[in-house]
A and B are shown apart, each in its own frame.
Chain A
């Protein structure tokens, strides 16, 4: 039997996802701080240096960290094959992604060309390591292709996202001439938000919701094929755009409609769940799906890019991943401790339950803080002057609270680990 590379091994060391998630919450803090300091200036135009800086704080700062941290944990479970040399790989990814994001954001905000180029290069290196290590892991995996196809395509969508991003940076810095920046920007953000973020987030939701809330299976045509079709549509849109620019909007509209169908099935599955509890993960995921629908409607009905962007970045990208963090961290703390307990044969030692590491009350307080910042930001569309800065302030607190929740979970884990190791 050929089982080369098949390893149903334990989760990677807990410090790996914790490090990515803590860094993400620090980026999230800087998002709040930037809005608090700059106020309504940021939202004057989507092309302003501040708006570009803020957008990339969300995507390559917060999102990239959370999604990579979660991937390191989910790959062994989904594919039965861990990321190769997980400690060294994750260290290289974390460092280059952190450096890249900081330099890129500084480059945008300060219009500092060298910083933009170096930042984009660091990010390209980080993404390359992620893609190669995930590809090795999936290649060695013995899991059927349909189980991992969507999540793999979601990460492949990083290739066009980063390629268009690099071209745009070269264009912005005057190294090359780009005839139509707007079109290329649309392709960059479509691949980034609908491709990478959309596909990875929804393939994770399709995995998490049915099993943790015991719902009826989402129809396999939707679960297995809808997200690869999103990828295919984006590819078609990109190619056809270069043949006929008018097809760009049509292709994107089809992709958005498909996401609405996907969101409908995800929401219906949550609604019909057998496990009737409403925990913090569900609240964050539910809010994210609702925001996705709102942003799609806003995109179809209006040409207010800032509103669409806010609903998408704040309501979806900064929201759903937090729900995933609140499921992963307590589980990892508990799982590692119980592994140790069994290995050391200390079954008389009573471990705390998962909820001990992040109390449900703390997670829900964070949800309300997060929602207050989101609502304040939406009010800012009516009255920018006080509400934008208030939203920034609320989000700064919300991010600190997230940082505290993750850190306390890790400290509680360390304390239990010490007890477990010291017990005779």
Chain B
């Protein structure tokens, strides 16, 4: 069975793929494609956040109060990402290429440094302290594919 780290990391890469296609559409000024891919990207990200905020983070916090610091930082970064996605969505719907390209670059860097923290620290920690959660998480991730 897949570990939590493996399934969640795989889901990050899936979101990355959609992001790249969306960014290419912005560069090509294919606004209809960009809008559709942005919708797909937001949906995938929200589904990923939902698993983390609804299942993974509460389980980690239950195992000890010391996890609450890192978990709070991750939740704050989710808010940052949500805010950026809203801004990017608006730039795409207004067909502002330069702004959309700048925002997508900002979104990518923010998203990747956030993912790095999760993949390097939080997921391996989850596999150590709440390993039994892996089946539930894998089944939730399958729903989104």
Residues of A within 8 A of B (CB): 1-4, 6-10, 76-80, 141-144, 147, 207, 211-212, 214, 274-277, 327, 331, 334-335, 338-339, 342, 347, 350, 353-356
> Does B121 contact A355, Cβ atoms closer than 8 Å?
no
B78 to chain A, nearest CB (A): 11
What chain B residues lie within 8 Å of A80 (beta carbons)?
A: 70, 117, 120-122
> Does B106 contact A334, Cβ atoms closer than 8 Å?
yes
> Does B67 contact A274, Cβ atoms closer than 8 Å?
no
* Count: A-B pairs, CB below 8 Å: 107
Contacts A207-B116, A338-B80, A354-B109 known; 20 new A-B pairs at CB < 8 A? A1-B67, A1-B129, A3-B64, A3-B66, A6-B66, A8-B70, A9-B69, A10-B73, A77-B116, A77-B117, A212-B108, A212-B109, A214-B17, A214-B19, A275-B108, A276-B24, A334-B106, A335-B113, A338-B110, A353-B99
What chain B residues lie within 8 Å of A276 (beta carbons)?
A: 24
A142-B125 in contact given A3-B64, A9-B73, A274-B17 (Cβ < 8 Å): yes
- For A76, A80, A207, A355, the residue with the greatest tally of chain B CB atoms inside 10 Å of its CB is A80
Contact of A6 among B17, B115, B121 (CB under 8 A): B121
B90 to chain A, nearest CB (A): 10
Bound CA–CA A1/B60 (angstroms): 9
Q: Which 5 A-B pairs have the closest CB atoms?
A: A80-B121, A1-B64, A8-B70, A353-B102, A3-B66
> Does B109 contact A331, Cβ atoms closer than 8 Å?
yes
Q: Name 17 A/B residue pairs within 8 A (Cβ), A-sorted.
A: A1-B60, A1-B66, A1-B129, A3-B67, A3-B70, A79-B120, A80-B117, A143-B120, A212-B109, A214-B17, A331-B109, A334-B106, A335-B113, A354-B109, A355-B105, A355-B106, A356-B102
- For A2, A8, A211, A212, the residue with the greatest tally of chain B CB atoms inside 10 Å of its CB is A8
- For B73, B76, B106, B108, the residue with the greatest tally of chain A CB atoms inside 10 Å of its CB is B106
Within 8 A of A (CB), among B59-93: 60, 63-64, 66-67, 69-70, 73-74, 76, 79-80, 83, 87
Beta-carbon contacts of B1-39 to A below 8 Å, as 1s and 0s? 000000000000000110110011001000000000000
Overall SS of chain B's interface: helix
Q: Is B112 an interface residue (CB 8 A)?
A: yes
Bound CA–CA A207/B19 (angstroms): 19
Bound CA–CA A219/B23 (angstroms): 26
> Does A338 contact B83, Cβ atoms closer than 8 Å?
yes
Bound CA–CA A335/B66 (angstroms): 24
What chain A residues lie within 8 Å of B87 (beta carbons)?
A: 350
Bound CA–CA A142/B129 (angstroms): 12
> Does B115 contact A211, Cβ atoms closer than 8 Å?
yes
What chain B residues lie within 8 Å of A7 (beta carbons)?
A: 69-70
Query: Interface size (B, Cβ < 8 Å)?
Result: 40
- For B67, B103, B113, the residue with the greatest tally of chain A CB atoms inside 10 Å of its CB is B113
> Does B116 contact A275, Cβ atoms closer than 8 Å?
no
Bound CA–CA A284/B66 (angstroms): 41
Beta-carbon contacts of B97-134 to A below 8 Å, as 1s and 0s? 00100110110111011011100111011000100000
What chain A residues lie within 8 Å of B105 (beta carbons)?
A: 353-355
What chain B residues lie within 8 Å of A147 (beta carbons)?
A: 120
User: Closest residue to B63 on the A side, CB-wise?
Assistant: A1
> Does A211 contact B70, Cβ atoms closer than 8 Å?
no
Contact of B121 among A10, A142, A214, A353 (CB under 8 A): A142
What chain B residues lie within 8 Å of A9 (beta carbons)?
A: 69, 73
What chain B residues lie within 8 Å of A355 (beta carbons)?
A: 102, 105-106
> Does A143 contact B115, Cβ atoms closer than 8 Å?
no
A280 to chain B, nearest CB (A): 12
What chain B residues lie within 8 Å of A142 (beta carbons)?
A: 121, 124-125
Bound CA–CA A211/B66 (angstroms): 29
A178 to chain B, nearest CB (A): 43
Bound CA–CA A55/B108 (angstroms): 37
Bound CA–CA A418/B99 (angstroms): 23
> Does B113 contact A77, Cβ atoms closer than 8 Å?
yes
> Does A212 contact B102, Cβ atoms closer than 8 Å?
no
Contact of A342 among B67, B74, B80 (CB under 8 A): B80
Bound CA–CA A226/B123 (angstroms): 25
